[in-house]
Amino acid sequence: MNAAKAFLCHLLAQAGLTVNGPNPWDPQVHDEAFYPRTLRQRSLGLGEAYLDGWWDCQQLDVFFHRLFGARLDEHVRITFGLALKLLPAVLFNAQSRRRAFIVGQKHYDIGNDLYERMLDTRMTYTCGYWQGADTLDQAQTQKLDLVCRKLGLQAGQTVLDIGCGWGSFCRFAAENCGASAVGVTVSKKQVALGKQRCGGLAVELRLQDYRELQGRFDHVVSLGMFEHVGYKNYRTFFEVAHRCLKEDGLFLLHTIGANEATTGTDPWIDKYIFPNSTIPSVAQIGRAIEGLFVVEDWHNFGVDYDKTLMAWHANFERAWPQLQKTYGQRFGRMWRYFLLASAALFRSRKSQLWQVVLSKRGLPGGYRAPR
């Protein structure tokens, strides 16, 4: 056994994983080049080796849950080459106005048919709220209702959705609360389909970068978009939200959260799924809102993202026989890897899901958060 293979097998064994073992979570290696490639390129090499068919695993989510739980990343040093790939996130603003629409083109515009089949009937591409819910549709409806209740959204009020997706929140707010909603996204296909789905309602969807927003609204929300803002722009993002929010209104931020501050993202995720994305930490959000907002409530239900991602994966697998003709086998492996590895991140508590309610000066008498 060569040194790379011996080292990696020993490392995986610490997570209860046996290379070519009998368990459904054990990796099955088909190409010996898998070992040096993974050690050399870490997560990027592991992911690309999977795309290339060099290894398989029946239960990828359990594989990654064990991997993350054992903190194996702490045992493998970052290489100089990998460090060079992370350096641009520090030196340059990867989420500048000029680059803001890249993630829309590379991720959200890949095909509405994929998302229609994978998501719930409202097409809500964010974490559901599973307290008392049995299905994905129920969890997403509960999440949208929770957001409206946290805002105290009322008939006749206006609400801005920064990163509106296909308009699920805007549509819900208009239909169930009698509000008027404006949503912005960087995805052309989201705007096109969202306008159809919100037809006849007091909803306006725009293809627009958040930095161009003007006007004042009773409330502001951002559900699952802050991950694309980038740490160099956090302050600017909150300044825009502050500018657009009326003095007595509330701003609800719904975002994936990191346990530690970072300036970049996983190289595989950056290359194949969410280019230029960055997950914020508590400290980074805190610094960015200082002097602008008062924190009224901070709600963590990250474990619900595990359930949401597994539900998306189940929908994807059911639809794959029809989708594979359009997207191809390599895409199928990539998407499956993305969904199941992400579910494991939340299951292992390495990633969180936060809903943060903010006011400009603090609500008189305090705030009582619905749950």
Closest CA to 96 of 268, 224, 274, 236: 236
Between 73 and 109, whose confidence is greater? 109
Q: In this model, does residue 207 exceed pLDDT 50?
A: yes
Largest CA distance in the chain: 70
Q: How crowded is the C-beta side of 357, counted as CA atoms within 13 Å? A: 22
State residue 263's pLDDT score: 86
Q: What is the pLDDT of residue 78?
A: 42
Integer CA distances (angstroms), 112 to 180, 187, 277, 349, in order: 25, 11, 21, 30
Query: Over 50: is that where the pLDDT of 82 sits?
Result: no
Tell me the two tokens of residue 46.
């592991």
Beta bridge partners of 252: 221, 357
How many other C-beta atoms can be found within 10 angstroms of the C-beta atom of residue 26?
20
**DSSP track, 154-214:** -TT-EEEEES-TTTHHHHHHHHHH--EEEEEES-HHHHHHHHHHTTTSSEEEEE--GGG--
Helix, strand and coil percent figures for the chain, each rounded to 5 = 50, 15, 35
Which whole number is the average pLDDT over 309-317?
98
What phi and psi, each to the nearest 5 degrees, are found at residue 181? -125, 140
Please, what is the Cα angle at 303 between 300 and 308, to 5 degrees? 115
Q: What is the pLDDT of residues 333-342, one digit of tens each?
A: 999 999 999 9
**What's the confidence (pLDDT) of residue 98?**
61
pLDDT of residue 90: 45
pLDDT digits (tens, 9 = 90+) for 57-76: 999 999 999 999 998 766 55
Residue 338's pLDDT is: 98
Beta-strand ranges (E) seen in the chain are 28-29, 55-56, 158-162, 180-185, 203-207, 217-223, 245-258, 294-300, 351-359
**Inter-CA distances, 199 with 171, 195, 205, Å:** 9, 6, 10
Mean per-residue pLDDT of the chain: 93
* Paired residues of 254 in beta bridges: 223, 355
**Mean pLDDT calculated for residue range 334-359:** 98
pLDDT for the residue 75: 56
pLDDT score of 144 more than 80:
yes
pLDDT of residue 32: 95
Q: Provide the percentage of residues in the chain whose pLDDT is more than 70.
A: 92
70/177: higher pLDDT: 177
> What pLDDT score was predicted for residue 79?
44
List, for residues 212-260, the tens digit of each pLDDT value: 999 999 999 999 999 999 999 999 999 999 999 999 999 999 999 999 9
Residues 6+ apart with CB under 8 A from 110: none
Average pLDDT of span 167-190: 98
Average pLDDT over residues 131-140: 97
User: Is 250 in contact with 357 (CB distance < 8 Å)?
Assistant: yes
Both tokens of residue 348?
């292992």
pTM score over 0.85: yes
318 pLDDT above the threshold of 70:
yes
Predicted local distance difference test score (pLDDT) of residue 213: 97
